[in-house]
Amino acid sequence: MTNIPKSVGIIYKHNFGPAKRECQRLKEWFTERGITVYTEEMASRAFISQSLEEETNIPDTVHWVVVLGGDGTLLGAARKIGRYGVPILGINLGGLGFLAEIPLKRLYKDMERLIAGEMEVEARLMLEASVLRDNEEKCRFSVLNDVVINKGALARIINLRVSIDRRFLTTFRADGLIVSSPTGSTGYNLSAGGPILYPNLEALILTPICPFTLTQRPIILPDTSVIEINMGEDSEEVTLTFDGQVGFDLMDNDGIIIRTSEKKLKLIKSPDQDYFDILRTKLKWGESS
């Protein structure tokens, strides 16, 4: 049974010639089949002063979205159109990726398989984070990987008072704090000593960055948890980042609320790729030193 779409979106890597050229070729391929195509170049990393969601040229009526780039481009696409609930196919134009796992050489073969209904769709938990300042919401984003509070290079250690479902957990004295989804567990969370979670699990990970007290360790929480983080006094040069791509400057007494998003990202998976194969390759497990 075929699954020919009426319209698709293509999001391609910022300022990267091969991605732009492949976007044009793929657009022509879809157009020859009577499919309307909307394209968008992924913006570079940016700091924001106030935002409630990222704008996009891709309408919510598209059938699929194809992402040309790598994991970073796919993370940006997830923030932009994950709320639509449309399936996303990641095409990696570089090395093997955790998210954009399909190589360019298989692009058109897998497009045919997708139309034929031979590709799987996997739901991935997303996080929603908002910043409250003087009881006003200043910023809100949905992310696929993680939300990170981080101090500047020369700033003092920061105090972060954390409550789970309005119950006090602890005050982290650390360089920062990572709240990660299972998908993001192999990113910054892993570098900071957090655990790897299978990507379609329903859980959150709270991982301190270089804690002052060594007994403050990562904790895995149920996906129903609402995490509330309050900034201490004299919190200088502290930044909140969304998937490591969008930054927001925090101030004293700001409150950050993080929960699972109502929307899940629908990631199109090739049956030829296995998560454990990717894990072994990316982390070089089993290789001699």
Catalytic residues: 71
In 3-state terms, what secondary structure has residue 18?
A: helix
**What's the token pair of residue 63?**
């059938």
**What's the token pair of residue 202?**
């329903």
Task: Identify the CA nearest to 225 among candidates 193, 195, 184, 181.
Answer: 181
CA distance 30 to 133: 46
Task: Identify the CA nearest to 202 among candidates 279, 126, 143.
Answer: 126
Indicate if the alpha-carbon torsion angle 76, 130, 256, 233 is positive or negative. Answer: positive
CA distance 102 to 272: 9
Tracing tokens 């699929």 back to the chain, one arrives at 64
Q: What stretch of H or E contains 213? A: none
CA 259 distance to own-chain centroid: 14
Q: What stretch of H or E contains 89? A: strand 87-92
CA distance 124 to 182: 8
Q: What stretch of H or E contains 28? A: helix 17-32
CA distance 286 to 289: 9
CA distance 185 to 162: 20
